[in-house]
Structure 1
Amino acid sequence: MAKSKAYKFEEIEEKWQKRWEEAEIFKVCEDPAKEKFYVLEMFPYPSGRIHMGHVRNYTIGDVIARFLRMQGKNVLHPMGWDAFGLPAEGAAIRHGTHPAKWTYENIAYMRQQLRRLGFSYDWSRELATCDPGYYRWEQLFFIEMLEKGLAYRKKTLVNWCESCQTVLANEQVIEGACWRCDSQVVQKEMWGWFLKITAYAEELLEDLEKLKGGWPEKVILMQKNWIGKSEGAEIEFPVEGRSEKIKVFTTRPDTLYGVTFISLAPEHPLTLELARESGREAEVSAFLERMRRLDRRRLLEGDFEKEGIFLGAHAIHPLTGKKVPIFAANFVLMEYGTGAVMAVPAHDQRDFEFAKKYGLPIVVVITPPGEELRPQEMTQAYEAPGVMVNSGPFTGLESEKGKREVVKYLEEKGVGRARITYRLRDWGISRQRYWGAPIPVVYCPECGIVPVRKEGLPVELPLSANLDRSGRSPLAELESFVKTSCPRCGSPARRETDTMDTFVESSWYFARYCCPDYHEGPLDKTRVDYWLPVDQYIGGIEHAVLHLLYARFFTKVLRDLGYLSIDEPFKRLLTQGMVLKETHRCPVHGWLYPEEVSPEGRCRREGCGAPVEFGSPEKMSKSKCNVVDPGEMIKRYGADTVRLFMLFAAPPEKDLEWSQQGIEGAHRFLVRIFRLVAENRDDLLAAGDLPTKPSADLRSLRRKTHQTIRKVTEDIQDRYRFNTAIAAIMELTNEISALLNRKDRPEGFWPVVREALETVVVLLSPFVPHICEELWHLLGGKGFILERPWPGYDPQVATAEEIEIVVQVNGRVRGQVLVPAEASDEEIKDKALSLTNVRKYLEGKSLRKVIYVPKKLVNIVVG
């Protein structure tokens, strides 16, 4: 039966996607007899449509999954939806619909888009985090954490985003702004629920060592810095005339004798109390109000003028007994340390600037060895180690040793102790929004805070609630939800109306994928023990602190609760680069889409005609009109072309610059391969066995075939260098084409060409699976190409043939060397120089030059 020689990608892709689905080819289950591999891309938020960043992320994962399956691994490759969150609320408000309706419609559409790209997902494991069947189990985890003291409620200063109308965790404040909308974050005092991530601070830090070699060093460093371990001392400064003591933490106890004032955070509980007692409440209150309006981003970065106000009170130095004034200062943050700082102007630059501004004493207590520092001559603080001076019994000690001795002395006196602190703060999970998992507690007038009974879970989010344009959660006004009875005493009670941070859902979804059909509990331990940890996780660097830190914390908690057996969730991490595209900007109309720019580089909008500024490539963004719609590209070129371009244009961890010429080139390559097979199909099917004594040209093609198998296997398996793997396949394709264009066809021609073309098809199949399935069947293959074992290579065939090179010294033959035909000039020269018979003619003489005549001789000239 005649086969079409045209590459009809739409028909081919639809055909094979349907066959894969009917055969449930991607469905997997546990098989102890096979080595497992769990590959996972960070699941998407159902925003309505996938973007090119999604396509790149998921294509990378799909190549790995398909390759490893062909290598005989039992591969788990699931997909689901991170479905709660603020964008659904915002979209629902804008479109006059319900977040649930909007979310599930988007899920249906995006699922179709992902299927259209041919990803090898086990769709039987699909989950959505807004499903009560999913979040009921994280409500159970919350109750069990509450029972173990790992969840608690407190009133505290929180990060508040006015735009999103909700609290943010510290990790969700990026340089003082909301991670979601980039609005300025302010401090607000509120009640909220927290998870005690600090209980795992040391283990989270120590276990980063286990991830070395599997995680990017940059991500490990970011987490290490965020956890922020500091070793030092906690020291108590009594407040004059009061029973309280101000506790400070310092990493420089060796500078204790240089303290000349104490700085409190504006929000410190003692700030207003001390001002009130000293009669300075009005001016201190005015100062505090002004500090609240400061740009918090600048405060965190330290990019601001240091300001403070005297509180009219003094602290007593614990070792000298001297009085030191107490200030409120804008550079002290309540959330770090104790909210109080012992100020040593001579040895801390912030304190130095503050002291200079307010005329406070500067006392030198550390000097460089052999030098003397005079406070009146200092233009900046001396912050390096040195020798202790003006420090009582510790004078003369090296400062590093002095740290230990001062701490020991403080402990003996009972006024201080060695302490380790962390920058990490407990995770605030309360969100004052509707579209999230309800926190499963009630408030009873008699019993206080009471968790919901476990058998009563889930506490379902009422879908009857209506959102208004303010964005405020309607739960507090929904009596059918709020009014309930106390699980303990049965009295009337009210439900918690805060919902959980959506990062809670994404902190354990990878475990639920292992057993999504299990209903007797959150996790089937036998199955999760088989699949976990995730062997390869793929996602953006922007999640280095947020999601990845929370997922590591949750894994350790679930381990301690008995649900998991692992310490770390993700063995290897690949952080893929962004997809970039150049921008176009009109001085009149602003950002332009490419079609709004004429070939001459002028604005087409409204007949403008102004010259357009072509900007450097930036991350694709609707706001800058430089997005490319994956759906449009698939319609025009096919899913395989889009996949191939995304993989070939750059290594996975590097940014990828979108190129129209690049995607057209990828399409031409696939058309070319299709024609190579289709136009020669009859001869390829009739090809017999490989020749026993092939001609030189056929030996060369066979060698290239087996070298390509080796190269592609190593590039995928060891380095994820998909671009160089594809380049190697393209080189092999070029050799096949060159041979097919020759008129002379020696004995064994078609078997060798068939071997080479079959190799191209099989090696390409993880990258472009649809066309390869079609070509595999055109070549007479049976079943699915995915079920074919990954090819091995013959080392003897892959080894380049050797050639004999004559070696001369000053024009006289002194030996011969055998070298691979593909050896470089330098390798051949080095081998010639290493010959024993050559070395004796070089002794005592100077080497002037080495002349190489390609594939013939090396002449060594000495004098």
Structure 2
Amino acid sequence: MAVPYNHREVETKWQKIWDDEKAFQTSDDYSKPKYYALVEFPYPSGQGLHVGHPRPYTALDIVSRKRRMQGYNVLFPMGWDAFGLPTENYAINNHIHPKIVTKNNVERFKGQLHALGYSFDWDREINTTDVGYYKWTQWIFLKLFKAGLAYKAEMPINWCTSCKVGLANEEVVNGVCERCGSEVVRKVKSQWMLKITEYADKLLEGLDSVDYVERVKVSQKNWIGKSTGAEVDFVLKGKEDKMTVYTTRPDTLFGVTYMVMSPEHPFIDKYKEDIKNWEDVVSYREMASKKSDFERTELAKDKTGVMLDGLTAVNPVNGKEIPVWISDYVLMSYGTGAIMAVPAHDERDWEFAKKFNMPIIEVVAGSPVDVNEAVFTDVETGILVNSDFLNGLSVAEAKDKITAFLTEKGIGHKKTNFKLRDWVFSRQRYWGEPIPIVKCEKCGYVPIPESELPLELPDVESYMPTDNGESPLAHMTDWVKTTCPCCGGPAMRETDTMPQWAGSSWYFLRYTDPKNDRELASKEALNYWMPVDWYNGGMEHTTLHLLYSRFWHRFLYDEKVVPCPEPYKKRTSHGMILGSNGEKMSKSRGNVVNPDDIVRDYGADTLRTYEMFIGAFELSAAWSEDGVKGCRRFLERVWKLQEIVTGDDAYSKDLEVKMHQTIKKVSNDFESLKYNTAIAAMMALINEFYKKNAVTNGEFKTLLTLLNPVAPHITEEIWQRMGYEGRIYQITWPEYDEEKTKESTIEIAVQINGKTRATLAIARDEEKDAVIAKAKETVADKLTGNVVKEIYVPGRIVNIVMK
């Protein structure tokens, strides 16, 4: 009788063995076929791992372990995305240096990951805060700067009046700081920008060459937002200036009844003296300055605005004078900072027009006009009305004709536009990579020589925010004051630091050669390992992180640093693990599950198995304690199979088909994210063993090998206890014979005059005459007429036609 399964002893034992044997160390033998499996490296928070982390890590660990058994040289690395605002905020609140906070958090995370038995190559561990790492982050920035893709610009930021820091849009909730609850205002700061817009077309084109799940491609395309339309000039009546707008629907110009400018538009201050309701404008601008861009553009929000009394525009196609409004739903940072409003054919414009009693003119037949409940349908296929020389044309025809008209008259032209904006790359923070630029009064912004990299983040006595919004580094006069690399004159170092996005935009490259101090990574390593074969991460990172890393990689490809234009061959995303109440896990909801508790009480293999069995990998799933217990019982059943093993190394005759079917099912399901059905197939196979009350050594070895990537500790322990040779991680993945996956008998339908009357079990290769004879015998009592025809569709049906 097998000894009881003690998961704590088993898991501690095998984790030490794997460490001692360097079991999962990546080889430098570049002659072997390679496989690069990548999971998003985590931000090491003080809370440690939550139960959502093991889901993607286990999934790619399964693939990595299987690939090693298939003879691949596998790179499956792990590291830390450790710069950023949360660490700095924690450091400020608790008076602990961010460096110490980061070190402690990394140690906790690493210990938790190790306890889960992941086959990471820890010799390739990276940390974005290590000087040897961010030297190359700075090097990439210098490349971008020298290529004209990094520049300084005045940009509005969200400014917390209490924390004295700039906030990301997601850190502003209902006009206040998410962290402290204080008022947030808009403040213009000089910011470093990266010209990602220069790569918009390349980023779109690259999506055609990669294997991403469709929703990931859609999120990328939507964020880039390529569209074709026209730029149109609206003259401000009595002024020399024109308001230029971009529209994808120039065919609706005859339906423009008003214009809207961003509250920050420079024309407002320029024509201050002409605006009669200036106090209303000032009041509205102040209110708008307290909202984030996200809040301003949220579709569901109530429309607000102020008409500029004394300023009007002229519709260029019909000469009609129309009012000009300001409203916070128009952003200065998007397009030209002004829009033409066509309320009959745009839901947002319609809501604004209804609220402020503006005219609504239908120009595409069939669209809702001036109704209490507007239902906006696709107007791309309508016929133009109320549009002078465009009347009677289709939308497509009208677009061509009006664009030609605008070009001919010099009041507009065809234009391709992108929703994508340049990347704001500055943070007025301490805990980030120093930007390797100095400002010289004579030479302007000058890059420091590459030979001076890394520009190290200096130790500071205080990393508290400054009252004027500058980085804490601005107080370090000895560090800030330097000499210009160009002219040798006095210069000032840049005191803004890089955002957390910087280190995560290229980390996958460093894993290929993490200890190289001469270059980002060797050509040999990059040529061998890149691109990443399979990258998995959260759906929340399939827009910006994915876009930014693809941009940096494509730029490095153009610079001939990397060998391929796209960094990832395959990108998948996993669903969240929710609380047992079906809601997102959070402390406030009291539904957080600590993975340490599950590992302690049920074992790492149980947690791994449960997270793969919980449901379809790409969908969210609610946590269930009963489900965890069920997976523990499954592993107990695997353990107890030791008691019924027979000596034969072959598959038993009656289970041969089932064995080959299971190998095929598990092998294919591991490759297609169907981990839950792969585990279900192994559960079904175990049921067959217990029905027979016997399992051969050959069958048991195959089961243990198939289960090993999911539950590596228990399977290695059983393997050793059974006296099987070597380690599972060193053996070859089982193969199946396609012919042996087919059942020897099949079931077919027996029909009379096309209606099924019975089913019949036959041999797969049984002759037609024998099948028909058996079929007639099966339904003999129902054959009450003359048989005129006998039809046999091999492997499917027998149909007996009667009169």
- TM-score normalized by structure 2? 0.89
- 2:618 paired residue number: 653
- 2:254 paired residue number: 257
1:231 paired with 2:185, answer no
Q: Which amino acid aligns with 1:11?
A: E
Contact kept, 8 Å, 2:648 with 2:697, in 1: the verdict is: no
**1:158-557 correspondence runs (5 A):** 158-160=157-159, 166-167=165-166, 186-211=185-210, 214-293=211-290, 297-302=294-299, 303-355=301-353, 358=356, 360-368=358-366, 384=379, 385-468=381-464, 473-557=471-555
1:409-449 C-alpha deviation (Å, 9 max, x unpaired): 21122221100111110110111111111111111222221
- 1:694 paired residue number: none
Structure 1 pair 721–820 and aligned structure 2 pair: CA distance change class (3 A): farther
Contact kept, 8 Å, 1:100 with 1:463, in 2: the verdict is: no
Counterpart secondary structure, 1:617: coil
Deviates more, 1:123-132 or 1:373-382: 373-382
Q: Which amino acid aligns with 2:143?
A: E
Distance 1:578 1:688 in 2: 44
Q: Which amino acid aligns with 2:622?
A: E
For structure 1, which runs of at least 5 residues remain unmatched after alignment?
583-615, 692-697, 742-751
Contact kept, 8 Å, 2:150 with 2:193, in 1: the verdict is: yes
Distance 1:469 1:760 in 2: 58
Q: Which amino acid aligns with 2:654?
A: S
Shift of 1:734: 2.0
Shift of 1:452: 1.3
Contact kept, 8 Å, 2:85 with 2:431, in 1: the verdict is: yes
- 1:597 paired residue number: none
Contact kept, 8 Å, 2:169 with 2:292, in 1: the verdict is: no
Distance 1:155 1:806 in 2: 75
Distance 2:623 2:295 in 1: 35
- 1:591 paired residue number: none
Distance 1:806 1:629 in 2: 53
Q: Which amino acid aligns with 1:265?
A: S
- 1:720 paired residue number: 673
Deviates more, 1:665-674 or 1:568-577: 665-674
- 2:713 paired residue number: 770
1:348-388 C-alpha deviation (Å, 9 max, x unpaired): 4444454455555555544359xxx9989998999835333
**1:724-763 correspondence runs (5 A):** 724-740=677-693, 753-763=696-706
Shift of 1:230: 2.0
Q: Which amino acid aligns with 1:710?
A: K
Query: Percent identity over the alignment?
Result: 43
Deviates more, 1:285-294 or 1:707-716: 285-294
Shift of 1:797: 4.3
Structure 1 pair 423–101 and aligned structure 2 pair: CA distance change class (3 A): same
- 1:703 paired residue number: 657
Contact kept, 8 Å, 2:449 with 2:485, in 1: the verdict is: yes
Distance 2:670 2:374 in 1: 57
Q: Which amino acid aligns with 1:650?
A: G
Contact kept, 8 Å, 1:346 with 1:364, in 2: the verdict is: yes
1:80 paired with 2:34, answer no
Shift of 1:495: 1.2
1:735-779 C-alpha deviation (Å, 9 max, x unpaired): 2223237xxxxxxxxxx6111111111111111111111222223
1:394-416 C-alpha deviation (Å, 9 max, x unpaired): 34433321111111121122221
1:443-483 C-alpha deviation (Å, 9 max, x unpaired): 12222211111111111111334234889742111223222
- 2:605 paired residue number: 640
Q: Which amino acid aligns with 2:402?
A: V
- 1:612 paired residue number: none
Structure 1 pair 781–352 and aligned structure 2 pair: CA distance change class (3 A): closer
1:525-570 C-alpha deviation (Å, 9 max, x unpaired): 2211211111111111111212111111111111112211222222
- 1:621 paired residue number: 586
1:214-258 C-alpha deviation (Å, 9 max, x unpaired): 322222222222211221110112333433221111112112233
Contact kept, 8 Å, 1:176 with 1:297, in 2: the verdict is: no
Distance 2:798 2:387 in 1: 75
Contact kept, 8 Å, 2:438 with 2:446, in 1: the verdict is: yes
Structure 1 pair 308–733 and aligned structure 2 pair: CA distance change class (3 A): same
Structure 1 pair 664–273 and aligned structure 2 pair: CA distance change class (3 A): same
Shift of 1:113: 1.6
Shift of 1:315: 2.9
Structure 1 pair 652–357 and aligned structure 2 pair: CA distance change class (3 A): closer
Structure 1 pair 806–502 and aligned structure 2 pair: CA distance change class (3 A): closer
Contact kept, 8 Å, 1:345 with 1:381, in 2: the verdict is: no
Contact kept, 8 Å, 1:160 with 1:167, in 2: the verdict is: yes
Deviates more, 1:645-654 or 1:472-481: 472-481
Deviates more, 1:567-576 or 1:469-478: 469-478
Shift of 1:494: 1.5
1:763-817 C-alpha deviation (Å, 9 max, x unpaired): 111111111112222232232211100011244544323379997979xxxx998
**1:20-31 correspondence runs (5 A):** 20-31=18-29
Matched residues, number: 784
- 1:575 paired residue number: 573
Distance 1:189 1:122 in 2: 45
- Aligned match of 1:673 in 630, 638, 644? 638
Structure 1 pair 832–171 and aligned structure 2 pair: CA distance change class (3 A): farther
Contact kept, 8 Å, 1:736 with 1:756, in 2: the verdict is: no
Distance 1:822 1:710 in 2: 22
1:787 paired with 2:730, answer yes
- 2:8 paired residue number: 10
Counterpart secondary structure, 2:126: coil
Q: Which amino acid aligns with 1:276?
A: E
Q: Which amino acid aligns with 1:512?
A: R
Distance 2:577 2:376 in 1: 45
For structure 2, which runs of at least 5 residues remain unmatched after alignment?
none
Structure 1 pair 377–392 and aligned structure 2 pair: CA distance change class (3 A): farther
Shift of 1:207: 2.5
Counterpart secondary structure, 1:262: strand
Counterpart secondary structure, 2:49: coil
Counterpart secondary structure, 1:287: helix
- 1:746 paired residue number: none
Structure 1 pair 528–804 and aligned structure 2 pair: CA distance change class (3 A): closer
Q: Which amino acid aligns with 1:627?
A: V
Distance 1:27 1:566 in 2: 25
Shift of 1:33: 3.4
Counterpart secondary structure, 2:212: coil
Contact kept, 8 Å, 2:789 with 2:801, in 1: the verdict is: no
Structure 1 pair 446–669 and aligned structure 2 pair: CA distance change class (3 A): same
Deviates more, 1:308-317 or 1:491-500: 308-317
Distance 1:146 1:447 in 2: 15
Counterpart secondary structure, 1:53: coil
